[in-house]
């Protein structure tokens, strides 16, 4: 009965794990052995996927700063109108040594939009980190509880085997003096063999679950003895939420927030396309030095300033097509987000119903079936 109740208790919590991706929570106690809380901590600190997403977040934040800056200016240096017959710098009045400074300026608010887009992309990675964190916690909890269940199952089966072994010794002694028949003797021996086979299956399951746990916390930590007792997982108030509150809660789910950020990035791209229809421009400032004439006459130097403008004349097959394509991208992301919201809402309601029914079954076993079996 102990084995059944432990299994029933774990099954009672498993449906809630999918909801914990939406409403995460935990409550563990530290111990020298491997507790669930310690396993979760080790997994979160060493998971390569989370570390990689953190690096991407930092990378995008650095890019956001760079995206808002002006392009590097250009310096142009040269000699103009040098006579090829003598190559004398002072022979011709139009010969000059020219230095130009050129600075390009992007169209409209392109720099600010590129910076904001990079910031939105960094937030997208942050939501991916939170989603990965919740998935990791669910996987670690499932592996930990499965390992704990099978170890408790092994203890229970071992105790049962000891009792059956005592019964087998008694039956054998009775059989040797002719007080029981061969069928009863064989039946007891078969029961022992089945228990040995059951222990082998349990050891196989324990080994598999511990190797699965090692994927998240490492080989050494996964082989530590587990703390005794089933950990108590904190229950959020999701069981008492109405439909409107459920909708508000799932709207904060990391995957939903990912789509929101992706929509924001797509809108920034749309605004960048609109800004590209505005002319970009460049400023060119130059100073030209002229040498004095060969007779000593002073020659004036030259100063020039020019502005170069883009002319967005042919926009129909470029900017306008890009504009329409980006609108479709936004629409696609919005529809995918709406589909995800429907799925999450359905999952919450379905799992909540399952938990309520499991609570009823648990109460039935504890209050009725177990007392009846103990009578």
With b for 16 or more beta-carbon neighbours within 10 A and e for fewer, the 160-184 pattern comes to: ebeebeeebeebeeebeeeebeeee
pLDDT of residue 135: 92
For residue 180, give both structure tokens: 């029981």
Q: Topology of domain 2-71+106-277+312-374, per CATH?
A: Outer membrane efflux proteins (OEP) (1.20.1600)
Gap between the Cα atoms of 151 and 200, Å rounded: 12
> Are residues 211 and 221 in contact, defined by beta-carbon separation less than 8 angstroms?
no
Q: What pLDDT is stored for residue 293 in this prediction?
A: 80
Residue 68 has a pLDDT of 84
Which pLDDT score is estimated for 183? Answer: 80
Dist CA 152 CA 206 (whole Å) = 10
**CA–CA dist 152, 226 (Å, integer):** 11
CB 268 within 8 A of CB 119: no
End-to-end CA distance of the chain: 13
245-272 pLDDT, tens digit per residue, is 888 989 999 999 999 999 999 999 998 8
Instruction: Give pLDDT < 70 ranges for the chain.
Output: 1-32, 234-238, 315-316
């Amino acid at each position: 009965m102990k084995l059944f109740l432990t299994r029933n208790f774990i099954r009672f919590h498993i449906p809630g794990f999918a909801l914990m991706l939406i409403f995460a929570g935990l409550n563990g106690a530290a111990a020298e052995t491997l507790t669930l809380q310690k396993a979760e901590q080790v997994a979160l600190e060493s998971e390569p996927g989370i570390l990689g997403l953190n690096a991407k977040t930092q990378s995008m934040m650095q890019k956001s700063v760079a995206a808002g800056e002006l392009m590097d200016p250009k310096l142009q240096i040269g000699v103009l109108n040098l006579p090829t017959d003598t190559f004398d710098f002072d022979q011709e009045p139009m010969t000059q040594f020219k230095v130009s400074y050129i600075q390009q300026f992007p169209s409209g608010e392109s720099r600010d939009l590129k910076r904001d887009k990079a910031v939105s992309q960094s937030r997208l990675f942050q939501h991916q980190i939170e989603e990965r964190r919740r998935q990791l916690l669910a996987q670690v909890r499932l592996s930990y509880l499965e390992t704990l269940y099978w170890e408790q199952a092994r203890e229970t089966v071992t105790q049962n085997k000891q009792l059956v072994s005592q019964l087998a010794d008694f039956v054998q002694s009775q059989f040797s003096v002719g007080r029981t028949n061969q069928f009863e003797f064989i039946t007891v021996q078969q029961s022992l063999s089945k228990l040995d086979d059951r222990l082998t299956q349990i050891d196989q399951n324990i080994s598999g679950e511990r190797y699965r746990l090692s994927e998240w916390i490492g080989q050494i930590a996964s082989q530590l003895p587990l703390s005794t007792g089933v950990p108590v997982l904190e229950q959020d108030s999701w069981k008492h939420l109405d439909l409107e509150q459920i909708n508000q809660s799932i709207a904060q789910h990391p995957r939903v927030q990912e789509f929101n950020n992706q929509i924001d990035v797509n809108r920034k791209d749309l605004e960048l396309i609109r800004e590209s229809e505005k002319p970009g421009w460049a400023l060119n400032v130059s100073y030209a030095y002229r040498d004095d004439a060969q007779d000593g006459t002073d020659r004036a130097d030259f100063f020039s300033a020019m502005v170069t403008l883009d002319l967005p004349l042919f926009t129909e097959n470029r900017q306008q097509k890009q504009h329409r394509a980006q609108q479709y991208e936004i629409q696609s992301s919005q529809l995918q987000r709406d589909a995800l919201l429907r799925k999450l809402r359905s999952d919450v309601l379905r799992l909540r119903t399952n938990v309520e029914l499991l609570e009823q079954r648990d109460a039935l076993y504890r209050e009725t079936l177990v007392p009846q079996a103990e009578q």
